[in-house]
A and B are shown apart, each in its own frame.
Chain A
Amino acid sequence: MRRSYEGVVLTAPVSVPYVRYTNETAHWWIAKALREALAIIRMTPQEIDGLSVSSFTLAPDTPVGLTQHFGISPRWLDTVPTGGACGVAAMRRAARAVQAGDVDVVACVSGDTNRIDSFRNLLSAFSRFSMDATFPYGFGGPNASFALLQDAYMQEFGATREDFGHIAVAQRANALHCPHAMMKKPLTLDQYMDARMISDPIGLFDCVMSCAGAEAFVMMREDMAIAKGLPFARIASTIERTNAFPDDPIQLRGGWAVDIDDLWAMAGHGPEAIDLLQTYDDYPVISMMQFEDLGFCGKGEGAEFVRKHDLTIGGDFPHNTSGGQLSVGQAGAAGGYLGLVEAIRQVTAQAGGTQVENARRALVSGFGVINYDRGLCSSAAIITGANA
């Protein structure tokens, strides 16, 4: 039986509004998020003793360089390279370190810059297997990798483009309530269907817009959060897996499917007790896969599930309430934090326009790093508000 995460909490959710292109560095974006988080918890850079950073564009620096750059002396430093799975992964590591007393407070920050043409440069150096075995074949980037996966998924389970469209359209409706979402215009299913194709069957509105931005939250002991009067969330359960199902010829399921029983057993309840879900949505097909692998429906039933449910903030299955990466934008590794930071806001009743009524339990899942032909990293967590 796994030990619980009692005594440690999540607080200080921060989102630095994204921009499409910037000349500022990843350092600048991370500093901005960190400063805002420290302001919320009323600590100085000199006082913070733990830091976890996720970023793709810090080169030639690592988070070690950031400590000197920012004038901080942490006794606990972590860097989490799991891409879209990094938010939950950073949280898990930080929570255990705080729980064990190795560190008092961990600021978890992710952020990336986006200069013109930096996306191409980032892709070119993304991974050795991509460089050797994916990019020479049309250089479609992640669009092409996910197109192959979606093509296989559609063949296998009979899902249609409309089914994926429902996910994107609902998220856009949610984003209209999120002031810093990059996408400000409503999206209809017709517009989704009529949009130009990017890498068949992936169309324009299946893709995220890469941009610059940062996200952060803070892990600390519950007694400290109470003493400081900070709203906080607890960790009920969490899982993580890397390189699951290596013998599947093409990815139709993620690592959640390995660990899902563990997730629900630790939480002590099933999917019916979840008030809102934040999936990693770099493409709608991946969100659909998460509905299945996390147990909200059976394998291959994702399409029917989205047809039957209303995924908007006020609907019966609130999903990616801020608009997700599809409508807020993908700020590199910050995309791996977006859902978790929004979920903290939701269960602590700080979500403003995107607030789901009576949101007590949120499930957040992450997915990341197309090293070659599939996403290797998966993570998930159930977090709860004070009243859960």
Chain B
Amino acid sequence: MTQSLPFPPKRNPQKPTQVPTVPPMVRSRAALGLGVMAAQGRFGLQVCAQCQAVQYPPRDACLKCLNDDLPWQDVDPTGRVLAETTIRVSPEPYFRERMPWRMGSVKLNAGPVVNCHLHGEVGRGDMVRMALKLDKAGQGVLIALQLEGSENMQDDPVLRAMSCDPKRRRVLITDARAPMALALTQALLNAGAAHVFLGEPEAWRRWPERAAYAGMENVSIVPLDVTDVSSITKLSAEIGGKVDILVNTASFTRPGGVMGNDTTFARDAFEVNTLGLMRLAQGFGPAMASRVQDGVNSAAAFVNILSVHGLMPDPAYSAFGASQAAARSITQSLRSEFRGSGLRVINVYIGAIEGDPWFSTLPPPKVTPNAIARATVQGLVGGLEEVTCGDIAKDIYARWQNDAGLLEREITGGGS
């Protein structure tokens, strides 16, 4: 049984914040595939296209037949712990700070034997379920979990370091007026978030949904306009040291193709969707990146709710799609910049939102605010990097992964 995570002690201002360290980061090209799987919450390994042998560690030629076609596939995640050890001495700073560290050897039912982290609830001889997780270096690593985990299994220190679990953490949702903001607030609080800050741009503009937040415990509405550097700087100075998770919900949507569309709308879309994200990263990123190892409520994730049309535009929303594509590109650069600190960048891809007037002309299926909230929390708890939410986003993301060229031809016309 895993003990429930304690509440963080009151912060001692005289103690320096621990400088974040990361576990070993360097991998071979083949082994980077583990991270690709982990980022999506999948358990997959290389499987030989010719003889079906499951491979581990990742390699360039099949260990049975030397074939070089070794696609990554989802495989049976169950296995048994053959042996375990508790490491008490390590020359690596990340692990030295966390001694003792348990690891083990697991025989997968899919075939290979893997060295892996052990969740506190499993040990030698146990049947286990393996998961691929991103560690603080952003690399895919294996952890053995109990088949049926206990209630607080997420609070295990090894697993928690690989997740961005909102439990005990403080969250900033950047735009309270976004359609999913209320559902997200409730989902985060239900998941144990200690506090939710909601940014409110242009506070003078009245909005009836504001009343829903009145009287909610551990929720504050704060002034924040992602198009305004001084607004971000001011809020960051006030609460930047206690934002553990940032969820960027700010978005500007207008329909229209390239021809005959006013570029003013395009400019607004970029101001909010792309440059807004960049300003938020500049304003809150450095403080978050320096607090990744700050105890129970350490900084964990920078989350972006993005349209899946950033991957492939809906031509009816051309400028919006372009701003989302640009925003996604920014998040990829951010992943590189935050890599050394262990701060995770999570992208939640969605389709048209139910009830959003700017998408009212689009046919169903649409994604509900509740579904977005649920997927975001699941992404945080799972410690993912790439999350798809709703039928449209899942469909487009899968088709884009499979064959981006084909998807483009389908989207731009000519598919029957």
| Chain A residues within 8 Å of B, Cβ to Cβ | 117, 119-120, 123-124, 128-129, 131-141, 143-144, 147-149, 151-152, 155, 196-202, 246, 249-250, 372-373
Contact = CB atoms under 8 A, between A and B. Distances in A.
Interface string B87-115: 11111101100000111110100000111
A139 B90 contact: yes
B105 A128 contact: no
B53 to A, nearest CB: 11
A134 B57 CA distance: 9
A250 B112 CA distance: 11
Interface in B22-53: 23-24, 26-28, 30-31
Nearest to A250: B82
Contacts of B54: none
A283 to B, nearest CB: 12
A197 B82 CA distance: 20
Contacts of B31: 131-133
B85 A200 contact: yes
Contacts of A250: 82-83, 105, 113
A133 B103 contact: no
A198 B85 CA distance: 10
20 contacts: A131-B26, A131-B28, A132-B57, A133-B31, A134-B115, A138-B102, A139-B87, A140-B89, A140-B90, A140-B101, A143-B87, A147-B85, A155-B83, A197-B86, A197-B88, A199-B89, A200-B88, A249-B113, A250-B83, A372-B57
B89 A143 contact: yes
B91 A137 contact: no
Contact of B91 (A128, A139, A201): A139
A151 B115 contact: no
B303 interface: no
A89 to B, nearest CB: 24
Interface residues of B, number: 41
B116 A137 contact: yes
Contacts of B105: 148, 152, 249-250, 373
A152 B83 CA distance: 5
A141 B105 CA distance: 15
B88 A148 contact: no
B89 A198 contact: yes
Given A132-B30, A134-B115, A373-B115, 4 more contacts: A131-B27, A132-B28, A135-B92, A200-B85
A149 B88 CA distance: 17
Given A128-B28, A155-B124, A138 B84 contact: no
B251 interface: no
Nearest to B34: A132
A149 B113 CA distance: 13
A120 B83 contact: no
Contacts of B226: none
A134 B115 CA distance: 6
A95 to B, nearest CB: 32
Interface of B: 23-24, 26-28, 30-31, 56-58, 63, 82-92, 94-95, 101-105, 107, 113-117, 124, 135, 137, 139, 141-142
Across the A-B interface, the 8 shortest Cβ-Cβ residue pairs: A147-B85, A139-B92, A132-B31, A140-B87, A133-B57, A120-B91, A138-B101, A151-B83
Nearest to A197: B88
A138 B124 contact: no
Contacts of B101: 138, 140
A136 B82 contact: no
Most buried by A among B85, B105, B135: B85
A149 B86 contact: no
Contacts of A123: 91
Contact of A136 (B30, B102, B107, B135): B135
Nearest to A130: B57
A199 B115 contact: no
A144 B83 contact: no
A136 B23 contact: yes
A152 B115 CA distance: 14
Contacts of B124: 151, 155
Contacts of B82: 148, 152, 249-250
Contact of B84 (A129, A151, A372): A151
Nearest to A248: B113
Contacts of B102: 138
B85 A132 contact: no
A291 B193 CA distance: 58
Given A123-B91, A139-B90, A148-B105, A133 B114 contact: yes
Nearest to B57: A133
Contacts of A124: 24, 26
